[in-house]
């Protein structure tokens, strides 16, 4: 099972490294780590997705809360958070397949961001499950390249941290 953890931390050099080393050293299976600035340039928000059972998720939160530069740690689930991922996927195709891929892109609400005589590149941002579905639907075509970003997440409602 995948667990999403949101961290708010001081924007200092090496914080991302310390967090990833801490999790790896403790044997947590990291599915993804995404970090970026917030509206306050002194603070960075990080989304970490770990795989494992309930104990793994609780232990990861406990370990992350111990780090000095970490301001806040929260577990997020589908009920209290919005999660999104980004994917760029380049498909090698024939002229006959081009229409099929364009139709699929429309149905899945993907952007066509590049097109050449033999390839088409799609961009899609959505829930991780929808990204998985897109990849599954394109599996019958020749995927030339794919880049998938890690999850980002924010808690729903009025709370900001």
- Mean pLDDT of the region 100-128: 96
Q: Give tens-digit pLDDT for 10-33.
A: 998 888 888 888 898 888 889 999
We report the CATH number of the domain holding residue 146 as 3.30.70.1150
Residues 6+ apart with CB under 8 A from 153: 4, 6, 47, 76, 81, 82, 83, 84
Side-chain half-sphere of 122: how many Cα atoms within 13 Å? 26
Residue 3 confidence (pLDDT) above 70: yes
pTM (2 decimals)? 0.82
Domain co-membership, 97 together with 116: yes
Last residue of a domain, one of 76, 97, 121: 76
- Residue 98's domain comprises 84-153
Instruction: Yes or no: say if 141 and 94 are a contact pair by the CB < 8 Å rule.
Output: no
How many domains does the chain divide into? Answer: 2
Q: Crossing angle of helices 128-138/95-108, nearest 10°? A: 160
Residues 90-108 as b or e (16 or more Cβ within 10 Å = b): bbebeeeebeebeebbeeb
The confidence score (pLDDT) of residue 161 equals 62
Residue 126 corresponds to which tokens in the numbers above?
Answer: 């959505």
Residue 122 has pLDDT above 80, yes or no: yes
Tens of pLDDT, residue by residue over 87-103, are: 999 999 999 999 999 99
CATH number at residue 50: 3.30.70.260
Q: Is the pLDDT of residue 70 over 70?
A: yes
**What integer best gives the mean pLDDT of the chain?**
92
Would residue 72 count as lying in a domain?
yes
> Is residue 160 situated within a structural domain?
no
Same domain for 6 and 70, yes or no, is: yes
């Amino acid at each position: 099972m995948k667990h999403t953890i949101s961290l708010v931390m001081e924007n200092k050099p090496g914080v991302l490294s310390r967090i990833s080393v801490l999790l790896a050293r403790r044997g947590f299976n990291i599915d993804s780590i995404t970090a970026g600035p917030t509206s306050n340039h002194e603070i960075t928000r990080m989304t970490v997705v770990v795989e494992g059972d309930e104990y793994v998720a609780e232990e990861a939160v406990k370990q992350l809360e111990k780090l000095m530069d970490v301001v806040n740690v929260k577990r997020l689930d589908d009920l209290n958070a919005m999660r999104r991922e980004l994917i760029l996927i380049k498909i090698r195709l024939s002229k006959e397949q081009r229409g099929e891929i364009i139709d699929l892109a429309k149905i899945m609400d993907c952007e066509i961001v590049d097109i050449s005589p033999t390839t088409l590149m799609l961009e899609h941002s959505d829930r991780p499950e929808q990204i998985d579905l897109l990849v599954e639907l394109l599996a019958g075509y020749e995927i030339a390249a794919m880049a998938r970003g890690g999850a980002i997440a924010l808690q729903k409602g009025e709370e900001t941290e």
